[in-house]
Amino acid sequence: LESDGMIAKEGIREIGLATLVLGGVALLANWLFWPLAIVPVVVWFWVLAFFRDPPRRQTFAPGELCSPADGTVTEIAELDHHESIGGPATRIGIFLSLFNVHINRSPCSGRVRSLYYRAGEFLDARHPECGRRNESNTILIDTDAPLPGPVEVRQVAGLVARRIICHAKANEALRIGQRFGLIKFGSRTELIVPRLADTHIAVKIGDKVRGGLTLM
């Protein structure tokens, strides 16, 4: 589901609710002591900013992958065997703070082989066990040549995030950087790729990445 607007339509309900509640609080605060009204106004602007959906357009060379999310790289793990990949793999974990854009994008061009939703806990998205224990949605993509595949993207709910949205469907063709969903409030996105002799990871722990723009 592509969007060239500046606000994600998946957040319209939350923005509307925040407008009603915070607007009422601001009016009451203004009546009691007007400087207090600044607080709900700031919170309203934060809610609006959280659901921002800036357009992303970037060109990548064949064989390259882009970041599936905005945030900070908090993990780069070498896996001896990953079942979905069918062999050794590298997992890159991206932490999305409450101030990041929360749109998820396809890291490559290809076709969705499968999707798997798993109920789970809501540990903090920086917790080392969150990828294994938290509620998550996994998308397995058969990549277009010459990129080796498959590639896996996992949307992981965090302590505050309680709703994962994914618009991708099985057998759907995705292009690199294409918007496919989002996670509401702080969360984690994982990218898992085959580990081959010529696999090169272009990011390191602590790097800030941007979905659809940063080379991974």
pLDDT exceeding 70 applies to what percent of the chain? 89
CA distances from 199 to 3, 186, 204, 216 (A): 32, 30, 14, 11
The yes-or-no answer on residue 187 being catalytic is yes
Among candidate residues 94, 90, 89, 91, the one with its CA nearest the CA of residue 74: 94
In this prediction the pTM is 0.86
Can you give the pLDDT at residue 6? 85
- In this predicted model, what pLDDT tens digit does every residue of 153-170 receive, in sequence order? 999 986 655 578 999 999
Can you give the pLDDT at residue 164? 87
Average model confidence (pLDDT) for the chain?
Answer: 88
**Residue of 67, 106, 136, 187 marked catalytic:** 187
Q: At what angle do helices 12-33 and 38-50 cross, to 10 degrees?
A: 170
Can you give the pLDDT at residue 151? 97
Can you give the pLDDT at residue 149? 82
pLDDT band at 128 (very low <50, low <70, confident <90, very high): low
Can you give the pLDDT at residue 133? 72
- In this predicted model, what pLDDT tens digit does every residue of 27-77 receive, in sequence order? 988 888 888 889 999 999 988 888 899 988 888 999 999 999 999 999 999
